[in-house]
Amino acid sequence: MSDLALRGGQKAVTINYSEVGARAVVSEAEIEAAVELMRKGQISSSPLVQDFEAKFAEYIGTKYALASTSGTCAINEALFAVGVGPGDEVLVPSYTFWASAAPIIAAHGVPVFCDVDPDTYCIDPVDIKRRLTPRTKAIMVVHVWGNPANMDAILEIARENGIAVIEDASHAHGSEWNGKKIGSLGDVACFSLQGSKVMAAGEGGVLTTNNREYYERAIALGHYERLSGLPKDSKYRKYSLTGLGFKHRTHPIGIAIASKQLDELEERNYIRDTNGKYLEEGLKDIDCIKIQKVLPKGKRIYSYHYTIYDETKLQGVSLITFLSALKAEGVICGKCGYGRLHEAPLFTEGVPYGKGCPGKCSHVEAPMVDKVPSLPVTEYLRDNTFMLAPRFEEPCEDLIDQYIEAYHKVVANIDELKEYENENKDAKVSTTETGRSINLI
Ligand SMILES: Cc1ncc(COP(=O)(O)O)c(C=O)c1O
């Protein structure tokens, strides 16, 4: 009998993740907090939202925090806050979720896709410099998978060129750069509180900033009910009757849940980080896995655990075979969906918002920007990054030990992997042909 579970052997992972490694999506204390609001009838507006904002701003270290309906809405607010408008270019990575880039189109701006650093997977300052033009208005920095981007280099470029820095901190609640919380370094930052995040309201978002003008503009865009409460000298009070056409008021029940999670965030991050590091330590002798690098000034949180698979270090065994073998062993893992935005029709063809098509992306021939080169690192990461493990939310060394054993077992059985690959050539071909392997295993 073969050793690999893929070929009929025993599974390496026998401990049930949901029983020992996961946490309840909503804890009892969070349910209590939500029910309390319902009992009070505060299901649309509640003072709890502003209390949460004050607490979140204090945690991140900014003057202001503004809760909204989603991280996407917070990004729309941030772009509006810094004044992105028709024809303005915003540098943004393609190795991210669509919400980092699509709102640039909604603001009638031009997303200019930038390559990422091959070690951190975050936007590459060298490539930022290459793609600057007189029309560059902002840089959208994504601290991807909770890993801080090189903020020193990015802020220096931004300062030298008079452009704004927006942090998409949707994966980085509690990450730090040089001792400061991510979300406090750029001009404005956005957090997602969607259900899969380390702070989850179900749906929700938060914008943070130290800049009063940006804060008021964010309020103006989506929070008409708050405009009359702005200081008398605010330029935006006059819009209190109408707002600006969007409504981003957050759901207080979600915020009641998120507020409880904020109280526990540091403790939970500590557990996740201890587990993430323990797993990485156990895998460090495996050549075909290249762990996402944290820069010396960065402190990451393990909100998601993605890394590079280098098939050249495993005699050309494809990622799809590697993942199939791991899954058979009981490892929760999967292909990564990031790194494809620059190929998406929204950006390659543009979208007709009214007359003309200002949102055409500069990655292809575009009316406003010269043709730019491809994104080699992004495309490498698109094809080779994968989810190493789920988020380990509880101390669970025994389970992580089984994951470490599973990875070692798989890489020790190259001949069997190759045999399997030969027998399943079609799966490999279809992956390569379509370039869309995400849902194939
Ligand atoms: C990197 C990134 N940016 C933005 C968002 C958007 O957040 P939301 O889903 O709350 O709109 C997400 C959420 O998945 C994300 O992962």
Give the containing element (helix H, strand E) for 156: helix 151-161
> 164-168 and 136-142: which strand pairing?
parallel
The pair of structure tokens assigned to 145 is 């998978």
CA–centroid distance, 3 to ligand 1, in Å, is 40
Residue 26 CA from chain centroid, whole number:
21
Which pLDDT score is estimated for 440? 32
Nearest atom of ligand 1 to the alpha carbon of 194:
10
**What is the crossing angle of helices 319-329 and 425-434, to 10°?**
120
Pocket of ligand 1 (CB under 6 A): 70-72, 96-97, 99-100, 142, 168, 170-171, 192, 194, 205
CA–centroid distance, 170 to ligand 1, in Å, is 6
**How many Cβ atoms are within 10 Å of 238's Cβ, its own excluded?**
11
Q: How far is CA 183 from CA 74, 241, 364, in A?
A: 12, 31, 31
**Distance (Å, whole) CA 276 – CA 282:** 10
CA–centroid distance, 192 to ligand 1, in Å, is 5
Where are the chain's structural domains? 5-23+265-337+382-434, 28-261
Which pLDDT score is estimated for 367? 39
**Distance (Å, whole) CA 437 – CA 431:** 5
Q: How far is CA 256 from CA 41, 225, 303, in A?
A: 13, 20, 21
**Distance (Å, whole) CA 205 – CA 70:** 4
Nearest atom of ligand 1 to the alpha carbon of 204:
10
CA–centroid distance, 17 to ligand 1, in Å, is 25
**Ligand 1, from 192, 206, 338: best to mutate by most atoms within 8 Å of Cβ?**
192
Asked whether 122 and 143 are in contact (CB, 8 A), the reply is: yes
CA–centroid distance, 74 to ligand 1, in Å, is 10
What is the dihedral angle through the alpha carbons of 415, 421, 422, 424, rounded to the nearest 10 degrees?
Answer: 150
Length of the chain: 441
Nearest atom of ligand 1 to the alpha carbon of 74:
11
The residue whose two tokens read 């021939």 is 365
**Cα separation of the two ends of the chain:** 24
Side-chain-facing half-sphere of 423: CA atoms under 13 Å: 8
Provide the 3-class DSSP secondary structure of residue 264.
helix
Handedness of CA 17, 18, 20, 21 (dihedral sign): positive
DSSP letter at 347 equals H
What is the dihedral angle through the alpha carbons of 346, 352, 353, 359, rounded to the nearest 10 degrees?
Answer: 50
**Ligand 1, from 104, 143, 170: best to mutate by most atoms within 8 Å of Cβ?**
170
DSSP letter at 112 equals E
**Ligand 1, from 90, 97, 250: best to mutate by most atoms within 8 Å of Cβ?**
97
Edge-first strand order for the sheet with 176-177 is 180-181, 176-177, 298-299
CA–centroid distance, 157 to ligand 1, in Å, is 25
Residue 317 CA from chain centroid, whole number:
29
5-23+265-337+382-434: in CATH 2.60.120.1090: no
**Ligand 1, from 72, 90, 145: best to mutate by most atoms within 8 Å of Cβ?**
72
φ/ψ of residue 169, rounded to 5 = -100, 30
Residues 6+ apart with CB under 8 A from 429: none
CA angle 389, 169, 51 (to 5 degrees): 115
Residue type, 27: S
Residues 6+ apart with CB under 8 A from 139: 90, 91, 92, 123, 128, 154, 157, 158, 163, 164, 165, 166
28-261: in CATH 3.40.640.10: yes
**Distance (Å, whole) CA 283 – CA 307:** 12
Return the exposure string of 121-140: e unless at least 16 CB atoms fall within 10 Å of the residue's CB, then b.
Answer: bbbbbebbeebbeeebbbbb
Q: How far is CA 61 from CA 52, 64, 180, 348, in A?
A: 14, 9, 8, 38
Q: Whose CA is nearest to atom 8 of ligand 1?
A: 71
Q: Whose CA is nearest to atom 7 of ligand 1?
A: 71
The pair of structure tokens assigned to 59 is 């945690």
Which pLDDT score is estimated for 91? 97
Nearest atom of ligand 1 to the alpha carbon of 205:
10
CA–centroid distance, 285 to ligand 1, in Å, is 33
Nearest atom of ligand 1 to the alpha carbon of 96:
1
Give the residues of the chain that fall short of pLDDT 70. Answer: 1-2, 352-373, 426-441
CA–centroid distance, 103 to ligand 1, in Å, is 11
CA–centroid distance, 71 to ligand 1, in Å, is 5
Alpha helices in 26-70 (DSSP H): 28-40, 47-60
**Distance (Å, whole) CA 441 – CA 335:** 8
The pTM score is 0.94
CA–centroid distance, 169 to ligand 1, in Å, is 9
